[in-house]
Amino acid sequence: MGFKCGIVGLPNVGKSTLFNALTKTAAAQAANYPFCTIEPNTGEVAVPDPRLSALAEKARSAQIVPTRITFVDIAGLVRGASKGEGLGNQFLGNIREVDAIVHVLRCFEDSDITHVEGRIDPVSDAETVETELMLSDLESLERRVVPLRKRAQGGDKDIKEQVELMDLALEELRNGRPARVASIPKGAEAGFAALNLLTAKPVLYVCNVEEAAAATGNSQSARVFEMAEKQGAKAVIISAAIEAEVAQLDDAEQKEFLETLGLEEPGLDRLIRAGYDLLGLITYFTAGPKEARAWTIVKGTKAPQAAGVIHTDFERGFIRAQTIAFEDYIAYGEVKAKELGKARDEGKDYVVQDGDVMLFKFNT
């Protein structure tokens, strides 16, 4: 299963620089003019997880296979995008294809890099993009809901429920709030997601700061964190310029370089993990002599569906899952964990937990 985070923002805020560092490629052209990214660039990156190395060492695995997440670098948006300004239609269409939005905000001063609106104000930038997304959603819903209201009057239960969900989103949008803050009835989450609204997607704000502020942030990033807290959103601090440098270094050089800046790890590691969390994802592991591998599932997934991520036959013929908590696997290893009763046989109703080390039994 694939999970995509779309990197968005106004032109010249550091989106492509960040994307290049994320994927360690020059696939996205980073240049000082709007719309240098014309087609969305896509790159898969490994999700950093120190548990995987520890697991591989314990299981004496020959290979380590991390789980991955996809980032899409999307062309910069400008005011009026919902009406087709700039590359608006393309921008909005590309956002519809991603699962979550990573919104890069410029929190640094640099006279050599122009700002599309002539000032540095990340909160205002965020509002500009959010407004365009809300206007697009509002226009889309108002157009779609009219014929559905007529059909709902005919007694079609499914259509009536769809209209009710649309009305919940419309109420928020008409009051200047994104659709994701709407109170969705329990059990209706899938139906709401099916509306495919831009402002229903979860958002992570990335504060792109100057090198000196990479460890602690600055006054501009503090404003973004305050805004995110009010919205129930998340934010991280990144210096795209630093990350671009770090991406060119080997592991030993990276560590030394980061230490001189007072950083414990690359900011990209925090960003990737935050994107993973933003999508409500967790990791379970499989381990053996051949490989130690991480697998991505949505929080709340039951054992048969988790097995299906490896192969559909595993889900179809699921019998049970031998499950060992990560901490127990590291402490005792598989054989000793079984002897001590730390290995559990779980059935079809078991909800997989983050860090579970699993071995599936299934019929072929």
Binding site as annotated, residues: 12-17
Pick out the residues of the known binding site for ATP: 12-17
Identify the residue whose tokens are 């230490």. 259
Distance of alpha carbon 321 from alpha carbon 31, whole angstroms:
51
Distance of alpha carbon 1 from alpha carbon 210, whole angstroms:
36
**Assigned token pair, 331:** 């402490």
